[in-house]
Structures are given as C-alpha cells and as structure tokens.
Amino acid sequence: MREEPGFSGFFCYTIAMEIIERTSGIVSTCSYLVKDSGKIYLIDAPDSNKEIIDLIKKEGRLDGVFLTHGHFDHIMGLENIYRLFPNTPIYLDKADLDLVESKNIIFLQSFGIPTSLYSIPKEIKFTQYPEKVGSFSVINTPGHTMGSVVLYAKDYGIAFTGDTLFCGGEGRTDLGGDYLSLVSSLKKILHTLDEKTVLYPGHGGYTTIKREKERLF
C-alpha cells in the first residue's frame, strides 16, 4: 500500500517490512517503527513519543535504534527507550557526539526551550554505524549536521533521510552543519538512489527522489 506524498501514518510496504510513523515532540519530529524480516527497529527518538513507546512495549523487543543525526529533537526520547531496553544498540555517527554531549544545550537555549527537558542518560554508549545494518545501507550525508546519515533499503525502494532532505525542502546548516557539505550530500543522494525511491524525512510528509530531483536540479 502506498499513499500520495505527504501522507503520515501506517504503511505495509511489503510482506517483509512494515513502517509505523508517528510525529511528536517540541518541533513535530517524525519517528518510525520498522519491522524488517522479524526484527524491530526505531528510527529517531523524539520526546513525547508515548504512542511509539506503547507499540514497542506491545512488541516486547527492540533490536536497534537508528538515529539519523544528533540534534536534540531527534534524541530526547532516548531516556524512555533506554530504560525499557538498556541492551538495545543505539546507532549514531561519531561526528555528532559533540551535539549530544554539549552543543544541544546551546541550541535549546537559542530556541528558548527549557534545558531541563534535555536528559540523555550518561550510561548510553552510542554505536558507530557499520556500512549496513539490517536491510539498510548507511549513507553518510554531512551537511545538516556533520554526522547525518540516510538509511537506504534498496530492496524495498525506501530511504529515511532525517533532516537532510524533506518534501519540498532541505535541512538548515546553522546548527552544527555546513552548507557546501549539504549540497554535496544532496547531489549524492539524488543522483545515486533510484528515482522511484520513497523518502521518509525527519519532519513533514514523505516524497520521492524523482520529485526532489525535479525541484532541485
């Protein structure tokens, strides 16, 4: 089942993969619960994600947390996840560790968001991404942040783009990023992934490589 771009909700993409999307948190961040060949993964962990937490509890397992980057709005739900499943690996590119450890506090202050809302357990040991995890190839896409990644499941024709690429837009670079790196990463994604690939971003509805390529190039 596939809806038109912009739809947010539940997808049964193939028999082997299901995607449940929920939007939550202080800046309406998307998180995705993915069932992939018998394993369950969470892509990004915003705060106030009770629905996702309840679904994970119902499943009784979580095989991995994949963070598309380290900005506060994508990781503020990690505490609840960690308390439930302390042995579940949490993947984050090492280039974004400085965001988690210090810079996110500065960013929260700049947005006027209480820093008391930011609580990442010091016990969490982030795992560096391998080249592939589950059905996903991990594509490094520095720009929005220097540790941003895109998770690409070629066999299913889908990719999770975080804040690198949205439906009708791309990520800002003034919060620990770099504009020229972002441009290079966008070119890599748009000229490497199949045009039919469906993109699930960190904010807003989904889109396709074809649509964004026509918009940008």
Domain, as residue range, for 86:
10-216
pLDDT tens digits along 166-211? 999 999 999 999 999 999 999 999 999 999 999 999 999 999 999 9
What is the predicted pLDDT for the residue at 49?
86
Q: Is 3 inside any structural domain?
A: no
pLDDT tens digits along 121-134? 999 999 999 999 99
Q: Is 204 inside any structural domain?
A: yes
- Considering the chain, what percentage of its residues have pLDDT values greater than 70? 93
Q: Is 5 inside any structural domain?
A: no
Q: Is 91 inside any structural domain?
A: yes
Q: Is 64 inside any structural domain?
A: yes
Total domain count for the chain?
1
In one letter, which amino acid is 21?
A: E
What gap in Å lies between CA 61 and CA 9, rounded to an integer? Answer: 21
Q: What φ, ψ does residue 194 adopt, rounded to 5°?
A: -60, 145
Whether residue 8 is predicted with pLDDT greater than 80 in this model: the reply is no
Whether residue 1 is predicted with pLDDT greater than 50 in this model: the reply is no
Q: Is 1 inside any structural domain?
A: no
Q: Is 4 inside any structural domain?
A: no
Q: Is 144 inside any structural domain?
A: yes
Are 176 and 145 within 8 A, CB to CB? yes
What is the predicted pLDDT for the residue at 17?
86
What gap in Å lies between CA 48 and CA 26, rounded to an integer? Answer: 8
The model's pTM? 0.92
Q: What φ, ψ does residue 162 adopt, rounded to 5°?
A: 55, -135
Residue 142 sits in a domain of what CATH number?
3.60.15.10
Q: What angle do CA 88, 92, 94 make, to 5 degrees?
A: 130
| Three-state DSSP class for residue 153 | strand
